[in-house]
Amino acid sequence: MTGEAGEDGKDGKDGKDGANRLLFWAMAGKMTELLFEADGAGLLGGLADGLDEAELVGRTGWNPEALASVLEVFRRAGIVTPGGGRPRLAPGVETALPLVAAEARLAAWHRDNGSLARALAGEGGSDPLDAPQPSAVIRGFAEAMGQAARGTALMVRRLARRAADARVLDLGGADGAVAMALAGAWPAATFTVVDRKPLHAPFGQRLGAEPALAARIRFAAHDLRHPQSLAALIGAADVILLLNVLHLLPEAGIDALLGEIRAHARAGCTVVLRELTADGGGDLAPLFLIDWLRCGSCFRDDAGAFARRLVRAGFPAPRELALAGAPDRFFMVEVP
């Protein structure tokens, strides 16, 4: 539904495509509302557990006719496989379920906080992690981000090949999911995960499940908007990761952090970055921009602008790697 207008500048037959696109997005909130209800009532979990309709009625407490309608909506939307019989989640859907739960909590927080209206009025962004949050919210957020950790670690390994015994600094590394996935592949490497204080507890929980890694991975609480405090950590690293983080910082903060890395990183240090750039595809891409706006960021570099930003910060010849099937890109630079 995010297609562009036709080349002739007209939008299909009598502008109907444009009207449909507008109406689709205007009404998409209904599906969001239903998904959050379905998740809260245990329907999505019940589908993941393979329950039949009668069992789903038992789990959700919903009216059977209403449940049948909801399943039909989900079938038409491609969330549940088509056809009768026992309803099943479509392939791949299950992996995103923790994200739905986290999204529901964050959406409620932003709504109550009036985040979008405030950001649009220039009253500053509202990052939920800057405000006190129940620990379940932080844990859900960390768990949702951790879903992609294994795939992310694979990409990092492709870019930073000689890092098996490196000292790795993961800036904005959340609860350490990516660092812990990398630690398995690089058994002699050590890791410092930097994120804000609320992520420390989820980091401890994740590490608790992998006690063998405790000697090699630590957490350091820092705010990347004040990068001066990172000089010593940057100077001690062989590999620095900045994965899906820079776009969350204010414009000047992005360049300040890159400048701090350039000023303190050792020659030969590898920096791996991941960003959803404005020329990245996929239906989700414009929705992420709304997320960032709420957090006070107006990041919209395309891949070329982002590479030029790296060069301006003193990192020549950035290497870029597009991720098959994903809208975001990896970049790699070596500190000269």
Ligand X SMILES: C[S@@+](CC[C@H](N)C(=O)[O-])C[C@H]1O[C@@H](n2cnc3c(N)ncnc32)[C@H](O)[C@@H]1O
* DSSP string of 81-139, one letter each residue: -SSSSS--BPTTGGGGHHHHHHHHHHHHHHHHHTHHHHHHTTS----GGGS---HHHHH
* CA quadruple 155, 308, 240, 245: dihedral sign: negative
Q: Which string of DSSP letters, residue by residue, matches 46-94?
A: HHHTT--HHHHHHHH---HHHHHHHHHHHHHTTSB-SSSSS--BPTTGG
Which residues partner with 170 through β-bridges? Answer: 193, 241
Burial class from Cβ neighbours inside 10 Å (0-12, 13-18, 19+) for residue 189 reads: buried
User: At closest approach, how far in Å is the CB of 196 from ligand X?
Assistant: 5
Q: How far is the CB of 101 from ligand X (least distance, A)?
A: 16
Nearest residue (CB) to ligand X, 41 versus 97: 97
In angstroms, what is the minimal distance from the CB of 23 to ligand X?
Answer: 31
Comparing CB distances to ligand X, the nearer of 262 and 274 is 274
Q: CB of residue 321 vs ligand X: minimum separation in angstroms?
A: 15
Give the helix/strand (H/E) hosting 171: strand 167-171
If the CB atoms of residues 42 and 253 are measured against ligand X, the closer one turns out to be: 253
- Whole-number minimum distance, CB 178 to ligand X, in Å? 5
C-beta of 199 vs 313, nearer to ligand X: 199
Is 47 or 254 the residue whose CB approaches ligand X more closely?
Answer: 254
Residue 60 or 152: the one with the smaller Cβ distance to ligand X is 152
- The string over 262-274, giving b where at least 16 C-beta atoms fall within 10 Å of a residue's C-beta and e elsewhere, is bebbeeebbbbbb
What are the residues binding ligand X (CB under 6 A)? 129, 145, 148-149, 152, 172-174, 178, 195-196, 199, 223-225, 243-245, 248
Residue with the CB atom nearest ligand X in the bound state: 172
Q: How far is the CB of 174 from ligand X (least distance, A)?
A: 3
What whole-number distance in Å separates Cα of residue 299 and Cα of residue 254? Answer: 9
